[in-house]
Amino acid sequence: MSATLTHPADATETTAPRTHDPIPFSRLASVELRKMFDTRSGFWLLASVGILATLATGAVILWGGDDALTYDTFAAAIGIPMTVILPVIAMLSITSEWSQRTGLTTFTFVPSRGRVIAAKAACTLGIGVVAMVMAAAIGAFGNVVGSSIAGVDAVWNLSLLQFTMITVATVLNMFIGFMLGLLVRNSPAAIVAYFVYQFVLSSLTMLLASTQEWFADLQPWVDFNYAQGQLFDQVPSAEQWANLGVSGLVWLVLPLAVGLRLVLRTEVK
């Protein structure tokens, strides 16, 4: 009877752990982008951006007077539905991992949760910019068509710098939804929290500022919605940028850091 001896070097080769190159960030971002819109809700949220922008443009043409047929008016009309839909898209990109129970699979394939969140953030930024470019194109088309129908000259009263400021405000608004998704990690609760923040809290701060003189001076520093509104109206001054930075630190950066810490440390079930 003979025994087979294993050379120590062979044993080392068979037991050595296999190493793999990390998934490229570009591939991770493309997967996360596809996940945002491969469900019915995601698809129709994306489609509704174009649909509502077209309807808003048509409404300005049909019911706006000749004086309202300006590029700025079309941009404002299109911006109203976008301020509601785009943050929800960003929010669901996070909460769907928990609501649809895909988080376990996602974080098993990519154990580094920070890379996954970074990919989702990059997709959020990209969608915000692309959506604004699409809105600008629809608004320009509506301005040309509306002016032609009314028989007046097209008015292009929105500069590239103003459009850039509006885009910045829109992206910041999307990251409010992104932040709430990280904090709450539940789709219905996050959506409710967003509408409370966007409409209820804004109304209360406006009411308080109109009735309390001390808060009227304080509002730009503590009300992120109010500070963002400056981006829609004009190119902000240095003080208004400071208002945006301070209020954004309170309402966006700090909660975002807390939400990110919770996502990185909370067990996914």
Backbone φ, ψ for residue 102 (5° rounding): -100, -5
Token code pair at residue 42 = 């995601």
70, 152 Cβ separation under 8 angstroms: no
Measured from the Cβ of residue 155, the count of other Cβ atoms closer than 10 Å reads 15
User: Mutual orientation of helices 224-233 and 202-211 as an angle, nearest 10°?
Assistant: 90
111, 28 Cβ separation under 8 angstroms: no
This prediction's pTM: 0.86
Instruction: Give pLDDT, residue 112.
Output: 86
Instruction: Report the SS3 class of residue 12.
Output: helix
What is the tens place of the pLDDT at every residue in 197-236? 988 998 999 999 989 888 988 999 999 999 998 888 778 8
107, 50 Cβ separation under 8 angstroms: no
What is the tens place of the pLDDT at every residue in 44-83? 888 888 888 889 888 888 887 778 888 888 888 888 888 8
